[in-house]
Structures are given as C-alpha cells and as structure tokens.
Amino acid sequence: MPLSDTIAIADLRVARLGFGSLRITGSGGLGEPDDPEAARAVLRRAVELGITLIDTADSYGPEVSERLIAEALHPYPEGVVIATKAGLVHGAADRWRRNGHPDRIRAGCEGSLRRLRLERIDLFQLHAPDPRVPIEESMGAIADLVAEGKVRHVGVCNVDEAELERADAVVPVVSVQNRYNLGHRDSDAVIDRCERDGLAFMPWYPLGRGALAGAGGGLAEVGRRRGVTPAQVAIAWLLARSPAMLPIPGTSSVEHLEQNVAAAALVLDDEELALLA
C-alpha cells in the first residue's frame, strides 16, 4: 500500500515513514556494501513506495551512503527530501567519535553537497553535540551555512531538552533525531516538546538494530493477532506514540523495506497499545 499519511518539517511535507540509509553501507556502517547495485535498488524502491525522506550522514561509510543515494536517485524526484548530518566521525577501533568543531561542520556540509549533487541541503543536522565544543559554536557554523544558502532547514540529533533549547536559540531547529524504540524510551520528554512546538521527531534504531524484530512478549502477541511481524508492530507503535513521530527504519533488503512500508497502514487499538505499554 502506498504511503499516504504525511508530516510537516517546517515548510516541507514528507511521508510519515522515511528511510535511514546506514544499512546500505558495509558492515557496521563502514565501507562499501557487498552488493552496491542491490543497495541502489533498495533506494529506488523506497521512492517507488512513496517514501519521500531519505536520511543519511557524511559518516555513513564514511561518504558511501551519500554517494549511493546520488547514484540511485539523482536527479531527485519532486518532493524527495535528502536529510544529512555532520559532526560524527569514525575513530579508532571503528568507534564513532564526536567532532562538532565549526570547521568540521562546514567541511562536512561542503562534502555532502558534492556527493549528493545538491546546491542546497533541505535538512542538515548536527549529528551529536561534542562535549569539547559548546553546542552554540557547532550550531553557529550551521547558521552560517543557512545564511549562505547551502542549508535550508536545521535539525539536531542525540540531544536532551537543554541541548535542544541551546541549539534552537542559535538557529531555528525543525527536527530532532534521537534513539527511541519500544525498548529505549529515554527521549519521551523531547518527543513531547517536539509535539508541542511542531518539530518532527525521527527515532533512530526504531527497531533496536533489529533486536525488536524478533522479540517476544507484547510485540509477538500483537503480531500473531494481526498476522504481521513484530517489526511491523514496533513501527506502528512508534507512529501511534505521537503525531510528531517520523520513523526512519533502515534496511538493505527490498523485502524488509516493503514490510516496513506496509506497517504504516497498521493502526493499533487501545488494547494492543496497552500490551506494549
């Protein structure tokens, strides 16, 4: 079933289910995928199914995800929004390391523009606050990019309420991307703030890196009742949590992509929601 429900991100309107592109890169988000053409096929199928927000980052690969997106989708169909990020890099032992220095943020944006073949990024996000750099300095670099016409709208990721307030004081924030799923609900207060102020909330790892897809308990029970997978129930639960919610499940499989999209039409009743509470 094509996606029909939409959500506003400032003056952009996108389908209420997006696609997270970390999984189209190599293992652990590093390097090339085993089958680059299959990765491009997933991206093309996502758009065919009505997904209009593709989320990526310069650190995915690094640089691999953005390049594959451009190869698969450029020139981008009308209404498709590419959201990318800067401020997170791969460090030693394949660990993510935060780098919010203004020069790094600017370099990340310039590189993303080239790889994505864009003149302006519709949604550019600070990937994570850097404890060594005041968030005001990181966001100031993004504000400069907005003023230069290289960024249209600004989002933040991995923030608490206080960090969101500080970021928004520098440049208007239109979206937040934090870890959130049935098993990790630490961002409830941030979601409530997004709903109140008209921001989109994009939960990363909405399926808990796949752990929830095979989970038992309420997920399995609701799935059995409805004849759907636990992963589909988990996505439906997120959509029911708040009108601000914009899940971005990622996958390297067309089959799983199609299952994720089908989950957007699954409406849970009060009894089912209580089982998952």
CB within 8 A of 55, min separation 6: which ones? 18, 19, 20, 21, 83, 84, 177, 202, 248
Task: Determine contact, residues 276/221, Cβ cutoff 8 Å.
Answer: no
Handedness of CA 82, 26, 178, 102 (dihedral sign): negative
Report the chain (277 residues): mean pLDDT per 10 consecutive residues. Answer: 84 97 93 96 98 97 97 98 95 78 98 98 98 98 98 98 98 98 94 98 79 68 93 94 97 96 95 91
At residue 103, the pLDDT reads 98
Pairing of strands 81-86, 53-55: parallel
Query: What residue has token string 């952009």?
Result: 12
Q: What is the pLDDT of residues 19-45, one digit of tens each?
A: 999 999 999 889 999 999 999 999 999
Pairing of strands 6-9, 121-126: unpaired
- Please tell me the pTM assigned to this model: 0.94
CB within 8 A of 95, min separation 6: which ones? none
At residue 1, the pLDDT reads 46
Task: Determine contact, residues 238/266, Cβ cutoff 8 Å.
Answer: no
User: Hey, what are 178's tokens?
Assistant: 């934090």
Phi, psi of 27 (to 5 degrees): -55, 130
Q: Where are the domains of the chain?
A: 6-206
For residue 276, how many C-alpha atoms fall within 13 Å in the half-sphere facing its CB?
A: 28
> Could you give the CA distance from residue 58 to residue 37 in angstroms, rounded to a whole number?
20
Please state which CATH number belongs to domain 6-206: 3.20.20.100
> Could you give the CA distance from residue 99 to residue 39 in angstroms, rounded to a whole number?
28
At residue 2, the pLDDT reads 56
Q: Where are the alpha helices (DSSP H) in the chain?
A: 36-48, 64-73, 102-116, 135-147, 161-170, 188-197, 217-226, 230-241, 254-263, 270-276
> CA of 84: how far to CAs of 74, 109, 126, in Å?
15, 9, 9
At residue 50, the pLDDT reads 97
Tell whether omega for the bond before 75 is within 30 degrees of 0, i.e. cis. Answer: yes
Q: Which of 106, 8, 19 is nearest to 60 (CA)?
A: 19
User: Hey, what are 19's tokens?
Assistant: 């696609």
* DSSP state letter for 149: T
* Beta bridge pairs of residue 55: 20, 83
Active site residues: 60
Q: What is the pLDDT of residues 101-112, one digit of tens each?
A: 999 999 999 999
